[in-house]
Amino acid sequence: MNTAILWFRRDLRLADNPALHLALREAERLIPVFIWSPEEEGEWAPGGASRWWLHHSLADLAGELAKRGCPLVIRRGDSLAELRRLARETGAGGVFWNRLYEPAAIARDTRIKEALREDGLEAQSANSALLIEPWQIRTGGGDPYRVFTPYWKAAQALLPAGRLEPVPAALVPAAEPPQSLPLEALELLPRIAWAAAFPGRWQPGAGGARQRLERFAEDVVLDYSARRDQPAQDATSGLSPHLHFGDIGPRQVLMRMQRALAEDRGSGRIATTDHFLREIGWREFAHHLLFHFPRTPTEPLYDKFAAFPWRKPKDYAADLAAWQRGRTGVPIVDAGMRELWTTGIMHNRVRMIVASFLTKNLLIPWQEGAKWFWDTLVDADLANNTLGWQWTAGCGADAAPYFRVFNPVLQSQKFDPQGEYLRRWLPELAALPTDRLHMPGAQRPAIVDLAETRQRALDAYARIKGA
């Protein structure tokens, strides 16, 4: 084959890109293409924050490709139609891509693979996004895992080893350059100034991802176990949006961590690196679950929770709005929701706190929280978002037992003892003494009584228990 199409989706990098190497094995000339087709992702088209990231990550990828003499082609519309058109225009003999695991994407890609093969084209997919593909791991009984610890234990034996595919220094483009839209034509950037603070916080793209991984592996991971749960600290990797868009892949992360370990065995690095890789394991587990239980983005994994007595939309609309805007009167909740709105991210510890508050204290369905996160997080990822929300709501895999209701005041005191995080995101409270800072009503009257609503949640759970 003379020419191959490399179809980029959420693998926006040249390093450790197996589809790229599949294509280069088959063909001399390469046509890298990105097709904007959000309607093909059903209910889960990228949200506003994700689109901001995608724009900049695509710009970075286009730059890297141009440097190697092989410009990125940008199209919009029906993916299959555009791939066929591109193959016709260029005489390409095949299409290569890296797999996605969302139900809508799997259905689309399966259909496209069949259609391209019927056209007489080669069509092949590869794995760039996961250490272990969802179908590689089963319990002794042959079922998918639903509990993390045994899943991750089984995963150890299947972790990839060996070298990663190198980045080609140069690529050969199509004989005739195909038509391409300018990136701006996709209109991915928000029209309002909402994302104004994002560029100071993030550098989307493969270069930014590599810098983050280096900094983390050299320095931050040393204290990861001790500091990861404190939202005021800059003690996490910050890799989640990069991993979502494939600016970097989990194999690159794993190999870098293994190198860090090899460089200084005997230090405290072993335990803390394992702890971090365990979090990468949660990402793998989330994809395992989404693949095997594709209805979970909207439905509880365990059927009996379908009968859970959530409040009704007309009753909770005002409380939901207060939660979204960071006006609940519970400081740690409001701080987290403001961090999310301003930066497109929220510390994982705080995600659990605000999610517990929404589902248990406000008794609002977890799906509402999942939708809000979907639109506001730069790292919005269907697998991770679904697992996180169902975990907190108590209806999903490896869930916290429902009777474990987070107390946001205790959580705040424990994980932000100096009130540093609270003062950062609620500057109007900066002058308060720390002990008062954590308390509901410090800034505005709390919309609910914590003790009362905790009991209401426990009662609601008791009603469906054993159903």
Partner DNA sequence: GCTCCATTGAC
Partner DNA sequence: TCAATGGAG
Choose, by CB under 7 A, the member of 118, 120, 141, 157 that binds DNA: 141
Q: Map the footprint of DNA across residues 285-324, applying CB under 7 A.
A: 302
Going across the sheet that includes 3-8, the strands are 73-76, 29-36, 3-8, 94-98, 122-126
* Position among 154, 159, 261, 460 found at the interface with DNA (CB under 7 A): 154
In the list 2, 258, 407, 434, the residue contacting DNA (rule: CB under 7 A) is 407
254's CB contacts (< 8 A; 6+ apart) are: 131, 159, 160, 277, 280
Task: List the one residue from 2, 203, 342, 348 that touches DNA (CB under 7 A).
Answer: 348
Question: What CA dihedral angle connects 105, 111, 117 and 123, to 10 degrees?
Answer: 10
Check the annotation: does 96 bind a ligand.
Answer: no
DSSP labels, 432-455: S-HHHHTSTTSSS--SS-HHHHHH
Q: Does 139 contact DNA by CB under 7 A? A: yes
* Residue type (1 letter), 272: T
DSSP for 236-302? Answer: S---HHHHHHTSS-HHHHHHHHHHHHHHTTTSTHHHHHHHHHHHHHHHHHHHHHHHH-TTTTTS-SS
Kindly state whether residue 226 participates in binding DNA, applying the rule CB under 7 A: no
CA 94, CA 315: separation in Å to the nearest integer?
54
Of 13, 438, 454, 456, which lies in the binding site for DNA, with binding defined by CB under 7 A? Answer: 454
Tell me if residue 44 is catalytic: no
149 binds DNA (CB under 7 A): yes
Active-site entry in 89, 194, 348, 407: 348
Q: Which stretch binds DNA (CB under 7 A): 81-89, 106-114, 150-158, 338-346?
A: 150-158
Q: Is 80 annotated as a binding residue?
A: no
Confirm or reject binding of residue 148 to DNA (CB under 7 A).
yes
Span near DNA by CB under 7 A; candidates 79-87, 143-151, 210-218, 253-261? 143-151
Question: With binding defined as CB under 7 A, does residue 135 bind DNA?
Answer: no
Closest CA to 325 of 207, 443, 434, 155: 443
Asked whether 454 and 360 are in contact (CB, 8 A), the reply is yes
Cβ 301 to DNA shortest distance, Å: 9
145 binds DNA (CB under 7 A): yes
Is 238 annotated to bind a ligand? Reply is yes
Question: Judging by beta carbons within 10 Å of its beta carbon (0-12, 13-18, 19+), is residue 282 exposed, middle or buried?
Answer: middle
Residues in binding site for FAD: 224, 236-240, 276, 379-381
Q: Which residues are catalytic?
A: 279, 282, 310, 348, 366, 389
Q: Catalog residues that contact DNA under the rule CB under 7 A.
A: 139-141, 143-150, 153-154, 279, 282, 302, 348-349, 352, 398, 400-401, 403-407, 410-411, 414, 451, 454, 465-466
